[in-house]
Amino acid sequence: MSIENIIGLIIVVAGMGLILFFSLPAANKKKPVFRPIPAFQRLRRGIGLAVEQGTRLHISLGKGDLLSSNNTSALVGLTSLERIARLSTASDRPTIATSGSGSLAILSQDSLRAAYRTANAAEQYDPDRGRLAGPTPFSYVAGVLPVVRSEHISTHLLIGNFGPEIGLVTDEADQVSAFTLASSDSLPAQAVLYATTQEPLIGEELYAVPAYLQAGPFYSASVRAQDILRWVLAAGVLAGVFLNLVGVL
């Protein structure tokens, strides 16, 4: 095993250990305080307004394949979907989820069912609210655009694997004056979303969405573990630079 693989394994094991430690009740006596991100403050406000005004929330999960390396963003989106659906069960127009793969569509229906069951409103669950918009990038966008235009949606959460074509969706949402929070694990999509949405999330902020939505202690623990690993890696890089300058490496 190469030194790079060993270092990677150490980081993964350390991350898992930190998450398990911060998930323990003894480590959660005090509520964790995260840095304020205006995007999440506006999202919570959008959820509340949707319930009060009788408008709808839309979560788009992208086109990630659960069997590929881009499945992490899809899992984050599914967790966020369940949490938001639970918060909005009292709305006259329940949350809608769209996705670009059959597996994600099935899992989105399961997440919605779990949200209604947790809220003791299982009779309100409708599987048609977890929709397969299209199996290819442009058919997916073509399937999402009618949802943006005609479903009385006031807030969009776009979180997952997208291509640059997602700009067509954000442009349509802007034309109907809907709030959009968006993030992606794809660099081209990040560039488009940064230029076309009111509140884009950049980099690892994508993986903090469930924690900021208070989806559970496990997700809060993952953000705390990320922060510690970030500082450790930064210290390691600086130490390596210093040792290189003094001729040790």
**Do 121 and 232 lie in a common domain?**
no
**Do 136 and 221 lie in a common domain?**
no
Does residue 22 sit within a domain?
A: no
- Quick: pLDDT tens for 126-180: 888 899 998 888 899 999 999 998 888 988 999 988 989 999 999 999 888 888 9
**Do 171 and 101 lie in a common domain?**
yes
**Do 111 and 222 lie in a common domain?**
no
**Do 177 and 225 lie in a common domain?**
no
Number of domains in the chain: 2
**Do 188 and 225 lie in a common domain?**
no
Mean pLDDT of 221-241: 84
169: amino acid identity, one letter: V
**Do 183 and 240 lie in a common domain?**
no
Q: What is the pLDDT of residue 230?
A: 82
**Do 171 and 243 lie in a common domain?**
no
Task: Annotate 140-205 with DSSP letters as a single string.
Answer: HHHHHHHHHHHS-EEEEEEEEE--TTHHHHHHHHHHTT-EEEEEES-HHHHHHHHHH-SEE--GGG
3-state secondary structure of 61: strand
List Cβ neighbours of 229 (8 Å cut-off, separation of 6 or more): 11, 14, 15, 18
Q: What is the pLDDT of residue 9?
A: 79
- Quick: pLDDT tens for 21-31: 877 776 666 77
Does residue 13 sit within a domain?
A: no
Please determine, for residue 12, whether its predicted confidence score (pLDDT) is greater than 80. no
**Do 84 and 52 lie in a common domain?**
yes
Partner residues linked to 62 by β-bridges = 161
Share of the chain above pLDDT 90, in %: 16
| Residues 52 and 43: beta-carbon distance below 8 Å | no
* Radius of gyration of the chain measured on its C-alpha atoms: 20
| Half-sphere exposure at residue 192, Cβ-oriented, CA atoms within 13 angstroms | 18
Q: Write the CATH number for 115.
A: 3.40.50
Does residue 12 sit within a domain?
A: no
Angle at 94 between CA 90 and CA 99, to 5 degrees: 145
- Domain range for 146 is 30-215
Burial annotation 176-190 (CB, 10 A radius, 16+ → b, else e): eebbbbbbbbbeebb
Element containing residue 9 per DSSP (H, E): helix 3-23
Q: Which residue carries 């890089």 as its tokens?
A: 237
**Do 184 and 233 lie in a common domain?**
no
3-state secondary structure of 56: strand
**Do 99 and 157 lie in a common domain?**
yes
Does residue 121 sit within a domain?
A: yes
Does residue 19 sit within a domain?
A: no
Burial annotation 95-112 (CB, 10 A radius, 16+ → b, else e): bbbbbbbeebbebbbebb
Q: Find the helix packing angle between 187-196 and 166-175, rounded to 10°.
A: 20
Does residue 240 sit within a domain?
A: yes
**Do 192 and 226 lie in a common domain?**
no
